[in-house]
Amino acid sequence: MNDLTQGKEGTQIMKFAIPMLIANIFQQLYNIIDSIVVGKYIGSTALAAVGASFPILFTLSALVAGITIGGSVLISQYFGAKELEKVKSTSDTVQIFLLSSSLVLSILFYLFSKPLFRALSIPIEVFPEAVAYFDIIILTTTIPTFALYGISAILRGVGDSKTPLKFIIFSIILNIVLDLIFVLVFGWGIYGVAWATAISSILAWIGLWHHLNRGEYKIIRFNLNYKKWVFDKENFILSLKIGLPSGVQQTLVGLGAMALLTIVSPFGVATLAAYTAAGRVDMFVSMPAMNLAAALSSFVGQNYGAKRFDRISNGLKSTLIYSTIICISLSIVVVFWGGEIMRLFTDPNSDHFTEIVEIGKEYLLIVTSFYIVFSTMFIYNGATRGAGATFIPMLITTLSLWIFRVPLAYFLSQIWGSSGIWWSIPIGWSAGCIGAVAYYYSGHWKKGVRR
């Protein structure tokens, strides 16, 4: 556990962010390697199938990630104020809610997977593999994923971003090894990719949960003795007030990704495969900003609880500097070597090779050129969320997505083809960035949520 109300602000935030960043580097490297294995050794149709599943799975994980923000913010504020009993009750409440909701959602998404993929206008040749992959993932990984998000959020709330890192790295390395064994040795195709993800997710969850119930974590233990579980209705409602706007926002972002998929899909297998592969690179480049924003949220939460607004301002400035330097550096690499990166994801002997590389290269050139805008938006939103002010950031993000990005993707695609879809992304970011910066400097976020 780590008290973020003391010490040099920028150093504290970077120390807290680095373990999360390392974990996400491994996660995104896994996504990239997974896509390379699928694209090169199973085929472009399988790569498109995995890509078709991604927006739905992202929507599901985005919902839980958003809701856990509420619990994490509350825990960080209680921890900063030294109210340890409330830290414990909030921790229990978050985990009880996530276990029950994940069970219900996994069943619902499994039952309606086929109608959902039909609604997304997935190409007919992609449909069977997309459904098969999705069904395995949704039944086997929903509960572990929700639990991992919950435990990680709780640990971040008390200033520990290192512990989840160990188990995430273990899960990713195991996933890569199983991918290679199931696909290259056993020849299980897309089923092997799905089962590799399932096994590694379940084992990581079990390991992290076991670790949580040992050692220094007495105030947030959550073991099999359910009679000691505490569901605090008041804290649950308060967590929802803080986290639900973020949950809704993340869900709407996921639905926006699904809406974009319906615009991308009619352009064919090559465009969908390129969109999938470039999207993996896209996520890799954007993750420093997202992790720094998450670290800043925990930093702001503890300092908000301790009434240290001077530290919040200094922390924001330091985070913006770090994020800008990192994003510009990564963007330069992707812009200049986008074509070489895309060649990693597809078999040179495949029918769609040249088309996938060119489409993906164009996507990366357009989108990564604007990552400084994306990072600025995320950092400012992270600062205000840490104070518990999540409704306005949700509103800003939703409007930038559904008023700008999605309508423009459809409109511009009619004029410029798939290039128009890619241009809608930075336009949406720009609108969101203006709103996020304006809201922070308005000062209204300082009211937070009354505890």
Query: Which pLDDT does position 217 carry in this prediction?
Result: 64
CA distance 441 to 325: 23
Query: Which pLDDT does position 259 carry in this prediction?
Result: 84
Nearest in space to 48 (alpha carbons), one of 111, 121, 115: 121
Query: Which pLDDT does position 197 carry in this prediction?
Result: 87
Cβ atoms within 10 Å, residue 99: 15
Angle at 420 between CA 415 and CA 421, to 5 degrees: 130
Query: Which pLDDT does position 394 carry in this prediction?
Result: 80
Q: What is the mean pLDDT of each run of 10 residues along the chain (451 residues)?
A: 70 79 70 74 81 77 72 79 79 84 90 88 84 91 85 78 80 88 90 90 87 70 71 81 72 76 86 84 81 84 79 89 88 87 79 86 90 91 83 84 90 92 93 92 74 49
Question: Is 221 buried (19+), middle (13-18) or exposed (0-12) by CB count in 10 A?
Answer: middle
Query: Which pLDDT does position 53 carry in this prediction?
Result: 81
- Look up residue 213 and give its DSSP letter: T
Query: Which pLDDT does position 107 carry in this prediction?
Result: 93
CA distance 144 to 6: 34
| Torsion sign (Cα): 394, 395, 396, 400 | positive
Query: Which pLDDT does position 76 carry in this prediction?
Result: 80
CA distance 371 to 340: 20
Q: Would you state the structure tokens that stand for residue 426, as one six-digit string?
A: 């930075």
CA distance 179 to 192: 7
Distances (CA, A) of 13 to 5, 34, 102, 167: 11, 31, 31, 22
Query: Which pLDDT does position 434 carry in this prediction?
Result: 94
Angle at 379 between CA 378 and CA 385, to 5 degrees: 85
CA distance 331 to 193: 30
Q: Is residue 204 a contact partner of residue 65, using CB atoms and an 8 Å limit?
A: no
Distances (CA, A) of 117 to 24, 130, 133, 390, 439: 28, 8, 12, 31, 37
Query: Which pLDDT does position 350 carry in this prediction?
Result: 72
